[in-house]
Amino acid sequence: MPLNLKKLKSFLIDNAASCIHDAAGQLKRPFVTPTYGISAGADDDADVSDRQTLGHYLQMYDWDACFFGQASMRLSRPDLPLAIAENFLSFIDGSGYLPRTISPGRIWDGADMCKPFLAQLAWHWAESTGAKPAPELTERLRRYLSYFQHQRRDELGLYRWRNVLESGADNNLSLIFPLEASKDDNTDMCDFPDGDLLAVDMSVYLAAEHRALARLLEAGGDGAGAEAAFRQSGEIVERIEAFMWDAERSLYCNISGQSHDRVRVRTWTALTPVFFGLVSRERAAEVVAANIMSEKHFLRKAGLSTVAHSEVLYNQAPRGLYGRFVVSNWQGPVWVLPNAMAVRGLLHYGMQREAEEIAGRMVATMLADLETTGTLHENYHADTGAPLWAPQFMSWNILALELIEVLGG
């Protein structure tokens, strides 16, 4: 049966509008929240946010907002990417630190740093609108990226998260890595304290950020600054290749900051160098054939799983392993974000057929949810497509508009 692409596209565009809010409180520009049809910041005075118990996200989150902003032209809101970036950058301190979760009346999530996506968002705005980035914007972005350079860079030239929650993929097995593959009685963990592991995804995001900053500086007429930023991006990619590539598994692995041993777990973040188009065509083809398009590993009925089906700890539990209180599971369920990233990467390498295959599975999953429940969710059972958590979830689900276009919609 043909996919009803028009139905999903209309639903996304119609409901995304309620995720966009006028400036309020400490947020001086329009801002966005992941859940549609809610009052932004309504739980700012609560001890526990609505996301913990209801799956409703009432704040502006770093990568959620940045990916939502990338759909701005499709939503007829070309101003939105710059507004999102400026809201986060308004909190910058002397070290370049920015919080990752903000709302009209409060900063959430402690000292966690805003993930490195703001320069990419700003470049999306500049490229889409033809606007010339102001020097004041690029200077704050430079300061923001310098924080990672000074606070999160290892001697290998690779980067670490402050903790698993800051990463966003908050129970990713390549960050917590249980010692033994028992789902029932073993909760021992490898000796990976917060801030130890050098992360593939963090390093990839920073390579992409410096590349975006270089383009912004180039557009603003700062040739020397652009050259330096391009060089920094290239150096990070070289380090990823030199230390994180695992030939046996044909993917990239996190590294222990203590021993420099690889954490050999097949998880979606190990694929991000391909998703962001940072590797050679030959390397990308190897990762795609051995992992992304392999039904033994990542390709499942509902889309790409967040952990390979071949991993013993692969699971679809709504709360993840060990009864985590924060409901979020990156240990198997399908999320739109990695699937949309994968499709972007496949198209970059000219793999149209593979891109259409993944886009088709993800869109079919979303349409089935819409037909059954009348809404969309944050993640889905990889093998059945059943929705697992967080109803009324828009956020990066809006990237399905790109998938629809890939499928001819």
| pLDDT given at position 298 | 98
pLDDT of 186: 46
Structural domains of the chain in order of their starting residue, each with its CATH number: 5-406 (1.50.10.10)
CA gap 319, 338 in Å, rounded:
19
**Rounded Cα gap, residues 155 and 103, in angstroms:** 36
406 residue type, one letter: V
CA distance linking residue 318 with residue 328, whole number of Å: 7
Spell out the residues 6+ positions from residue 281 whose beta carbon is closer than 8 angstroms to its own: 349
pLDDT of residue 180: 44
- What's this model's pTM, rounded to 2 decimal places? 0.95
The two beta strands, 262-263 and 254-255, are: antiparallel
Assess contact for 159 and 153: CB atoms under 8 A.
yes
> Would you call 384 helix, strand, or coil by DSSP?
coil
pLDDT at 145: 98
3-class secondary structure per residue, 10-78:
HHHHHHHHHHEECCECCECCCEECCECCCCCCCCCCCCCCHHHHCCCCCCEEHHHHHHHHCCHHHHCCC
For residue 326, what pLDDT is reported?
Answer: 57
Query: What does the pLDDT read at residue 193?
Result: 65
Q: Which DSSP string corresponds to 149-178? A: HHHTB-TTS-BB-SSHHHHSSTT-HHHH-B
Q: At how many degrees (to 10) do helices 118-129 and 200-219 cross?
A: 40
Sign of CA dihedral 118, 161, 233, 405: negative
Q: Give exposure, 170-190, as e/b (b: 16+ Cβ within 10 Å).
A: bbbbbbbbbeeeeeeeeeeee
Q: What is the pLDDT along the chain (409 residues), one digit of tens a residue?
A: 689 999 999 999 999 999 999 999 999 999 999 999 999 988 888 887 877 777 788 999 999 999 999 999 999 999 999 999 999 999 999 999 999 999 999 999 989 999 999 999 999 999 999 999 999 999 999 999 999 999 999 999 999 999 988 999 988 989 886 644 444 444 554 556 678 899 999 999 999 999 999 999 999 999 999 999 999 999 999 999 999 999 999 999 999 988 899 999 999 999 999 999 999 999 999 999 999 999 999 999 999 999 999 998 899 987 655 554 556 899 999 999 999 999 999 999 999 999 999 999 999 999 999 999 999 999 999 999 999 999 999 999 999 999 999 999 7
